[in-house]
């Protein structure tokens, strides 16, 4: 018997394709002219004019059941239920006669917290994206799949800001009460992925007392798990893809009483200027059948891709199943972490390449979520680096107040004796434009030393600005870069830059002072330069 979407209010006369496999979705993509097939097998999609997320266009329905717990503000914009209902009705009418693609999937590799989801899209490539990024159930279970959350994704349908209450024609609207997500006005695939992550960030802490995290995770030969927090551009995906360790996941995880688990079934890597030598695993995936490349430049004649060309966007992406990583943990689960790495790309050149954190410092830096954008790389930026703070290294995806996630993290650090490290993948010897970027092989060597316990036998010194403990030596790394002040040719200029960055941290942290103890709020209180 033919299946339909009547339970979702969709009564299209067009064809409905349920859970198409990757080859069949390729055929549909080509038939519909949605993208180009590239040499080696990936499919290349152009999502212009929207080549990244639209954070100002994400809304959460303001209903009585969630009103008092949502972290309302610049991240989570409220939308009235009646606005949602009106837009939803128009969207359903718009779908009449449309050809649609459905993927039934799961979010969450842990059977204890697995969320059944359904992604309904008007494009075949978004269906392939969902199939790649989420966890596909066995074929035998697909007919009995009952979604707990549904995504209706219609890139060609635009909102009417005046009547719908949106900020533009783009909308990503999460209705927690009705367990429904509406996406329109944008073809960028990341909106689907991050909308589901936002839902998991709501469900896991509140219903399962599990910590949801914007992080990558891997595991060593001895079963030692490490997790890597970090914003885009800090090296989270690159550094967790370590050939000496097995990858649990590259972006979203949960941590419960039994250990960590991947929320996704795939990877979504930023691939601009990707190096085959330094990042071989990810590079191989960009040339493989089943991979979706977003906004990567392709020669229309030879069909060869150019990963170095940023003419469409700096935010070029590859979406692929984690099964394409040869040393991935297929179960998507691991034990409790032994180490936490907090990554930052400090374009001020102030923070050390690696530092050991106390639990209180870990809380402070987790809530701060610091990195720095480079001056001149974005419209509106000057020539100087711009400090960026994103709570929990993922503020755009947090429906609850950051303190909720921070307290869960603190409990788990204390309960499992986790070691915490701050790693700067940014600049040394001066700020951007003066100093030089810390070499990735040096960063890998420092992380290897931290995970192996090498620093246990090495003395540390404390720097006076952030009060961080810095190792005095690391195998394979020049000793002169470990203490950042020593790497500057003019130490006084370093002191000025460090004092400025401390002030920016303190200013940002004022918003959290009422939600943490004095031990965390006072992490920088002893510095003489605040």
Q: The tokens 């935010």 sit on which residue?
A: 315
Catalytic annotation, pick one of 58, 214, 338, 365: 214
Half-sphere exposure of residue 437: CA atoms within 13 angstroms, side-chain side: 11
Whether 338 is catalytic: no
**214: β partners:** 252
Q: The tokens 């595991």 sit on which residue?
A: 219
Return d(Cα 237, Cα 242) in angstroms, integer: 10
Three-class secondary structure of residue 346 per DSSP: coil
Catalytic annotation, pick one of 212, 237, 333, 425: 237
Nearest to 256, CA basis, from 122, 375, 109, 450 = 109
Return d(Cα 163, Cα 328) in angstroms, integer: 47
Q: Which residues contact 327 (CB under 8 A, 6 or more apart)?
A: 243, 245, 246, 247, 281
CB–CB of 318/285 below 8 Å? yes
Catalytic annotation, pick one of 47, 50, 51, 53: 53
Q: Which residues contact 330 (CB under 8 A, 6 or more apart)?
A: 323
Return d(Cα 368, Cα 361) in angstroms, integer: 10
Both structure tokens of 28: 């549909």
Q: The tokens 């550094």 sit on which residue?
A: 239
Both structure tokens of 459: 């003395």
Question: Which helix (H) or strand (E) is 457 found in, with range?
Answer: none
**462: β partners:** 469
Both structure tokens of 178: 């009705």
Burial class (CB in 10 A: 0-12, 13-18, 19+), 358: middle
Catalytic annotation, pick one of 58, 118, 193, 194: 194
Chain centroid to CA 5: 31
Q: The tokens 């309302």 sit on which residue?
A: 72
Nearest to 524, CA basis, from 473, 480, 463, 474 = 463
Whether 53 is catalytic: yes
Chain centroid to CA 383: 27
Return d(Cα 234, Cα 239) in angstroms, integer: 9
Return d(Cα 2, Cα 171) in angstroms, integer: 31
Whether 251 is catalytic: yes
Half-sphere exposure of residue 38: CA atoms within 13 angstroms, side-chain side: 27
Catalytic annotation, pick one of 236, 253, 365, 444: 236
Whether 214 is catalytic: yes
Catalytic annotation, pick one of 245, 317, 365, 410: 317
Whether 90 is catalytic: no
Cis link prior to 49 (omega < 30° from 0)?
Answer: yes
Per-residue CA distances from 83 to 44, 172, 174 (Å): 35, 13, 12
Virtual torsion, Cα 456, 461, 464, 469, nearest 10 deg: -10
Catalytic annotation, pick one of 251, 256, 346, 469: 251
- The radius of gyration computed from the CA coordinates of the chain, to the nearest angstrom, equals 23
Whether 317 is catalytic: yes
Catalytic annotation, pick one of 90, 98, 145, 232: 232
Both structure tokens of 66: 């969630």
Catalytic annotation, residues: 53, 194, 214, 232, 236-237, 251, 317
């Amino acid at each position: 018997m033919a299946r339909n979407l009547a339970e979702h209010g969709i009564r299209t006369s067009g064809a409905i394709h349920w859970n198409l496999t990757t080859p069949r979705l390729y055929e549909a993509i080509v038939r519909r002219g949605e993208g180009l097939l590239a040499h080696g097998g990936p499919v290349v999609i152009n999502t212009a004019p929207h080549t990244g997320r639209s954070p100002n266009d994400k809304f959460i329905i303001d209903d009585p059941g969630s009103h008092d717990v949502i972290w309302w503000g610049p991240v989570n914009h409220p939308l009235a239920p009646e606005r949602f209902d009106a837009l939803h009705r128009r969207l359903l009418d718009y779908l009449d006669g449309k050809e649609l693609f459905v993927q039934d999937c799961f979010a969450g590799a842990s059977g204890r917290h697995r969320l059944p989801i359904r992604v309904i899209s008007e494009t075949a490539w978004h269906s392939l994206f969902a199939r790649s990024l989420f966890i596909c159930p066995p074929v035998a279970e697909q007919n009995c799949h009952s979604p707990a959350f549904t995504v209706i994704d219609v890139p060609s349908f635009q909102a009417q800001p005046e009547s719908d209450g949106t900020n533009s024609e783009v909308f990503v609207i999460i209705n927690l009460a009705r367990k429904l997500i509406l996406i329109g006005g944008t073809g960028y695939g990341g909106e689907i992925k991050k909308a589901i992550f936002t839902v998991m960030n709501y469900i896991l802490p509140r219903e399962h007392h599990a910590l949801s995290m914007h992080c990558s995770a891997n595991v060593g030969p001895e079963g030692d798990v490490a997790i890597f927090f970090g914003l885009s551009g800090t090296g989270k995906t690159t550094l967790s893809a370590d050939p000496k360790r097995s990858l649990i996941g590259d972006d979203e995880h949960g941590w419960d009483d039994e250990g960590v688990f991947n929320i996704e079934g795939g990877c979504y890597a930023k691939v601009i200027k990707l190096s085959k030598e330094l990042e071989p695993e990810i590079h191989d995936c960009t040339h493989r059948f089943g991979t979706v490349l977003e906004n990567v430049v392709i020669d229309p004649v030879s069909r060869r891709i150019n990963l170095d060309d940023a003419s469409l966007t700096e935010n070029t992406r590859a979406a692929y199943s984690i099964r394409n990583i040869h040393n991935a943990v297929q179960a998507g689960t691991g034990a409790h972490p032994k180490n936490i790495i907090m990554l930052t790309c400090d374009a001020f050149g102030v923070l050390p390449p690696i530092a050991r954190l106390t639990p209180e410092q870990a809380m402070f830096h987790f809530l701060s979520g610091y990195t720095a954008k480079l001056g001149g790389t974005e419209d509106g930026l000057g020539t100087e680096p711009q400090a960026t703070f994103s709570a929990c290294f993922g503020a755009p995806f947090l429906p609850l107040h950051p303190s909720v996630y921070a307290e869960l993290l603190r409990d788990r650090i204390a309960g499992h004796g986790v070691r915490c490290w701050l790693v700067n993948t940014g600049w040394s010897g001066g700020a951007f434009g003066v100093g030089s970027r810390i070499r990735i092989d040096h960063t890998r060597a420092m992380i290897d030393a931290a995970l192996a316990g090498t620093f246990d036998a090495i003395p540390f010194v404390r720097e006076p600005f952030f009060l961080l403990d810095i190792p005095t030596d690391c195998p394979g790394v020049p000793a002169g870069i470990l203490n950042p002040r020593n790497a500057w040719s003019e130490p006084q200029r370093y002191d000025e830059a460090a004092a400025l960055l401390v002030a920016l941290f303190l200013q940002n942290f004022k918003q959290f002072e009422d939600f943490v103890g004095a031990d965390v709020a006072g992490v920088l209180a002893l510095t003489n330069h605040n």
